[in-house]
Amino acid sequence: MAHSDASQKTSKANSANEFSDGRRAADAPPTKIRWLILGLSCGVSFVLYLHRYVWGFIKKDVRDEFGWDSETLGWLDSFFSVSYGVAQIPSGMFCDWFGVRLLVGSIVILWSMALAGTAIAKTPSTMAAARLIFGFAQAGCYPALAKASMNWFPVGIRTAAQGLMATFFGRAGGAMSFVLFGTVLMGWLGMPWRWAVGVFTLLGLATGVLFLLLFRNSPREHPWVNAAEAELITAGDTHVAVAGRSQVRWRALLGSRAVLFLCARTFAANMADVLFIYWIPLYLRTEKGVDLATAGWMAALPLLGGALGGLTSGFIQSGLIRWAGWRRWARGAVGMTGKLIAAAVIVACTLPHDAMTVVCLFLIVRFFSDFDQPAEWGAISDIAGPGAATVFACVNTVGSVGGFVAGPLVGVVLKAFSGADKVTEAGWNAVFVLIAIEYLVAASCWPWIDCSRPLDLDTPAPGKAAHA
């Protein structure tokens, strides 16, 4: 009896201690590990575009060294889009099932090695292989970061976080690619382009390893997150607790009008983006006659405009949602307005301008054009819930087809409107008009995108969500 009484007292004491510990944990202020996750995600987005835009800058050096014409270079643009598109949906499904950490950490390392492959390639076929692997590896990044933003940030600030990840740091990475690669490494330091590629490769490998070490798929998996922060993040959206083991009902996805028009918007927008990713440095160095170092920082300015535009858009949308709960119109009105203004300004680039003036116009174009990138991310998060990576991947797959078509299309338009021997101003003006049309098509899609109607999804039972 005495032993039994002692056991009961011990049990009650343990229960009291557990309650006390739980109360102290509940009373503790939320930790701030979500901002570490934001930093890691923004860093990956930065490196993704830092690496992706290298091809646009070395294109002239590759052309001069190997004698490849504009159509060949355009097809090499598109080989990236082919593998990027093919790998999107498998990457998204992998991410929704196994979580973000393993996928992103691995692919950053893989695409960094593929970037190094572009410095080794000597023929169109070997360069195409490097571009294919590079696109395959980068395909899963943004579907995974879209899911990470949903799992790690409350609804009230999620779109602002997505604006930072998707647009501000992505475009900033593209801008700094031109500055660091062209102006600093090749221009000021006189580094051969292959050595500059090696420097960028090492940075990418370090980023992938750091992500694997510090990232976790959800707040409750991270050893540094307390209960208060986990509750803060998941309050108001139970889907964010699902880090894996989630699937999409494909019939619901394919039958969704909102997803259909998101795909059409992305197709047109990605066609327009090819100009700024792959052709602006060539335009500045050949048509405007600027030198190597100057082309680096000039080509960066439009991308900085895009970074600021995406950041502005994210905060506008988050403010409208907190103020009035207008998810559909906050995203649609912001996205459509940005694309309409961008279309008008790109047409103005067809007038005679010096290099600095046209670059400033490009900056304005990108500022407003990138208004709809956080809107796209936010709409997909609203529609897809725990299947965000798969739905994002489906939309991005269609966008990759647009990128594939745009690469050789720009080359063909340049050649058709310039003549057979030399690219002229008339050829570039024709390309600018083409971009304006693509912006108008993207803008026309937004009224049909109703993100207030979520898809019917398969979601795991609460006890079966993956918490690796």
pLDDT digits (tens, 9 = 90+) for 399-439: 888 888 888 898 889 888 887 667 888 899 999 999 999 99
Q: Which whole number is the average pLDDT over 155-170?
A: 84
**Is the pLDDT score of 8 beyond 50?**
no
Domain assignment of residue 17, yes or no: no
Distance of alpha carbon 146 from alpha carbon 165, whole angstroms: 9
Q: Which whole number is the average pLDDT over 286-303?
A: 84
Sign of the CA dihedral running 413, 135, 443, 347: negative
Torsion angles phi and psi, residue 458, rounded to 5? -80, 120
Domain assignment of residue 27, yes or no: no
Domain CATH code at residue 69: 1.20.1250.20
The b-or-e profile of 79-105 (16+ CB within 10 A means b, else e) is bbbbbbbbbbbebbbbbbbbbbbbbbb
Spatial contact of 136 and 14, defined as CB atoms under 8 Å apart: no
Q: What is the largest CA-CA distance in the chain?
A: 103
Alpha helix (H) residue ranges in 190-326: 193-214, 227-234, 250-254, 257-274, 280-286, 292-324
* Type of residue found at 351: L
Domain assignment of residue 226, yes or no: no
Spatial contact of 224 and 435, defined as CB atoms under 8 Å apart: no
Structurally, the chain folds into a number of domains equal to 1
Domain assignment of residue 311, yes or no: yes
**Averaged confidence pLDDT in the chain:** 84
Q: Which whole number is the average pLDDT over 208-236?
A: 91
| pLDDT-derived band at 247, boundaries 50, 70, 90 | low
For 335, the domain range is 41-218+247-454
Q: What percent of the chain has pLDDT over 70?
A: 88
Domain assignment of residue 377, yes or no: yes
Return the SS3 of 153: coil
Domain assignment of residue 232, yes or no: no
Q: Give the lowest-confidence range in 83-87, 131-135, 389-393.
A: 389-393
pLDDT of residue 254: 80
Domain assignment of residue 261, yes or no: yes
CA-angle at 52, arms to 401 and 402, nearest 5° = 15
Q: Which whole number is the average pLDDT over 385-393?
A: 79
Q: Which whole number is the average pLDDT over 145-167?
A: 85
311 token code pair: 């950041």
Distance of alpha carbon 407 from alpha carbon 304, whole angstroms: 23
Look up the pTM and report it: 0.72
Domain assignment of residue 294, yes or no: yes
Q: Give the lowest-confidence range in 93-97, 308-312, 429-433.
A: 93-97
**Is the pLDDT score of 3 beyond 70?**
no
pLDDT digits (tens, 9 = 90+) for 16-68: 343 334 434 556 899 999 999 999 999 999 999 999 989 988 888 898 899 88
Q: Give the lowest-confidence range in 7-21, 145-159, 225-239, 270-284.
A: 7-21
